[in-house]
Chains A and B, each alone.
Chain A
Amino acid sequence: MNQEQKAARDPGAVGVALGLIGLGAFFGIESFSIAVSPIYAKIGPTVFPRVVAGALVVLGLMLLRDAWRGTWRGETEADGRPARIDWQAALLIAGGLLATVVLIKPAGFVIAATVLFVLTSRAFGSAKLVADTGWGFGLSLVAYLAFVKGLGVDLPAGIMSGVM
């Protein structure tokens, strides 16, 4: 380990390591709420979860050490600082998915997917709202017809059920 590698600590990497430890703790603690029938007491349904929980905690601690020392870091800019993130783009994509969650049953797949399409292309810098809506609607409609009518896959029609 040479001195140069002991670069600045990346708080994000520390966070990911802590997250793994937290996940391990969750599995470990929750494993106590699994009912165990005495017949299976020896190798019951809690053994594997506890092994996995232990592994997550141990590996999380190892990664925490690396992150703390600065030997494990996330992406960086050319100057070595943690890479910048366009949060607005992240929110647009996450918002698109959440909109789909809300819309897919009441409004139907085509409408939900169109909203997702518009928000995602917006996240990638497209400013052509009308064109994107058209492209998104067309693509979703074609996908819907191909999968539902052509392949028998079940997707909600929603408010367009009368039309299709």
Chain B
Amino acid sequence: MSETIAHLANGFVVALTPVNLLYALIGTTLGTAIGVLPGIGPALTVALLLPITFHVEPTSAFIMFAGIYYGGMYGGSTTSILLKTPGETASIITALEGSKMAEKGRGAAALATAAIGSFVAGTIATVGLSFVAPAVVDLALAFGPAEYFALMMLAFVTVASLLGASVPRGLASLAFGLGIGLIGIDMQTGQARFTLGLPNLLDGIGVVTVAVGLFAVGEALHAATRRKFVGADEIVPVRGTVGMTAEEWRRSWPAWLRGTAFGFPIGALPAGGAEIPTFLSYMTEKKLSKNPEEFGQGAIEGVAGPEAANNAAAAGVLVPLLTLGLPTSATAAIMLAAFQQYGLQPGPLLFENAPGLVWGLIASLYIGNVMLLVLNLPLVGVWVRLLALPKPQLYAGIMVFAVLGVYATGQSTLDLICLLIIGIAGFLMRRFDLPVAPTVVGLILGPMAEQQFRRAMTIAQGDVGVFVTQPIAAGLLALALVLLVGPWLWRARRIA
């Protein structure tokens, strides 16, 4: 405990240097600005801004990244409320309930409760992160390859099957990502796999290429090909009193706290993600409300709770990412790629080897949250103007930055061809309702899972029994299996 406080204090010393404060400010500002653009969620925000960190010293780069990550979340809520276009599944509820509030002239209150709720939840969850992470690190130090492999299987199952409309479609998306991840040199034997004889493919297809292809090119193709047949999005003008009335404050704060209570623990689980807590929060607020009929018509609790849950989960997701190297959302997968770019592997050893970086990053989350509150409350009008950018030039600009980001990471025109192919896949996934996040998680986690599996097998001298005889690994694998087939059995029983 006291050790944690000492680490955190050192982290603040790192984060509060003028240079790092500047990077935090740049990160939060860019994150908000890009996150607010329609069609761009936090995952794409992080992927597009990855190249700007190439030549920045790692600690500063991750402080900027943390700002981008949180900033993308704040910016995304503004778009959800005023444009009714959620940038990610975790903002769907904000979009539904918040846009109703905006239509009733309470847009300013919806933006305020989202921003303040995000601040409250983000800060509480960052405190949670500060104290939970060291405990998980202690636990993780005892983990061997078998346990890591089992954890990854659990993450695969939850990412692919708990989200989205259908289990086979989620798993298909995961398998697609795993397949892309196979391309390149096998890390253990040095054999080239599925490179089609192309030397440029030896390094594999990068996470940035895949994420930008799926999120940016896929979205641009989808929006452009449907533009003529669907009505234009309408920005709901922000009217009414700025800020919240006393009544709205009274209704918001319990929802923020309950949302945080759902978001952080679920996000922190190695199988979490942000979608489930937002739904749980919404259902709870509806159940507890004296006027449940308001829900769906613009109830402030329906924005306050899920937004808090979303932000708390975003901080929670950093627990498995930093302590275990386990990404459980598309955004976290891209963050992991950023770490790898610096030759850093998140996990218990990172806390020992680079405490300045890890704790500086955690401390900067507190600072970033304060910056974001300021950036998003008084200055929200500036961001709202970004929503009015004309669609053709907006998407054209997104495409330019997509190419810049992808080309800058690999200096290869083959990457641009891959970008187009993956963009077409992203278009198809949107059209046929296949979730995109499992592909990104599968891509980055697949090679790691394979490596851990083979290491475990080498240590056990080829005995598959190692996954059953080690209690932690066996328990995690059993849990993954239950989560995979459980919903099917449950559904089968209900039909029968």
- Using CB atoms and an 8 Å cutoff, list the residues of chain A in contact with chain B: 12-13, 16, 20, 23-24, 27, 30-31, 34-37, 40, 42-45, 48-49, 52-53, 55-56, 59-60, 62-63, 66, 72-75, 77, 83-87, 89-90, 92-94, 96-98, 100-101, 104-105, 109, 112-113, 116-118, 120-126, 132, 135-136, 139-140, 143, 147, 151-155
CA distance A147 to B405 in the complex (A): 10
A-B contact list, 10 entries, CB within 8 Å = A34-B191, A37-B189, A45-B188, A74-B433, A101-B413, A104-B413, A112-B403, A124-B227, A125-B227, A143-B401
B55 on the A face (CB < 8 A): yes
* Chain A residue nearest in CB terms to B461: A42
Q: Decide: A116 near B396, CB < 8 A? Known: A59-B171, A100-B416, A124-B391.
A: yes
Q: Take A27-B179, A83-B226, A105-B413 as given contacts and tell me if A153 and B54 are in contact as well, using a CB distance cutoff of 8 Å.
A: yes
> Which applies to chain B's interface (DSSP): helix, strand, loop or mixed?
helix
CA gap between A93 and B220 in the complex, in Å: 8
Q: Is the interface of A mostly helix, strand, loop or mixed?
A: helix
CA distance A136 to B396 in the complex (A): 8
**B432 touches which of A12, A92, A124 (Cβ 8 Å):** A12
Q: Is the CB of A121 within 8 A of B393?
A: yes
Smallest CB-CB separation from B430: which chain A residue?
A75
A147 in contact with B52 given A12-B432, A40-B188, A121-B395 (CB within 8 Å): yes
CB of B254 closer than 8 Å to a CB of A? no
Interface code B442-485, partner A: CB below 8 Å = 1, 0 otherwise? Answer: 00001000100110011000100000000000000000000000
Q: Is A12 a contact of B395 with CB atoms below 8 Å?
A: no
Q: For residues 384 through 404 of chain B, which have their beta carbon under 8 Å from a beta carbon of chain A? A: 390-393, 395-397, 399-401, 403-404
Instruction: Give the chain B neighbours of A73 by CB distance below 8 A.
Output: 432
Residue of B nearest to A53 (CB): B179
Choice from A45, A104, A154 contacting B193 with Cβ under 8 Å? A45
Q: How far is the CA of A59 from the CA of B458 in the complex (A)?
A: 30
Task: Count contacts on B: residues with CB < 8 A to the other chain.
Answer: 67
User: What's the least CB distance linking A152 to chain B, in Å?
Assistant: 4
Known interface pairs A43-B462, A66-B168; 17 further A-B residue pairs with C-beta atoms within 8 A, sorted by A's residue number: A16-B432, A16-B434, A43-B457, A45-B191, A49-B182, A59-B172, A66-B166, A72-B166, A83-B431, A86-B224, A86-B226, A89-B228, A90-B225, A109-B407, A113-B403, A143-B404, A152-B55
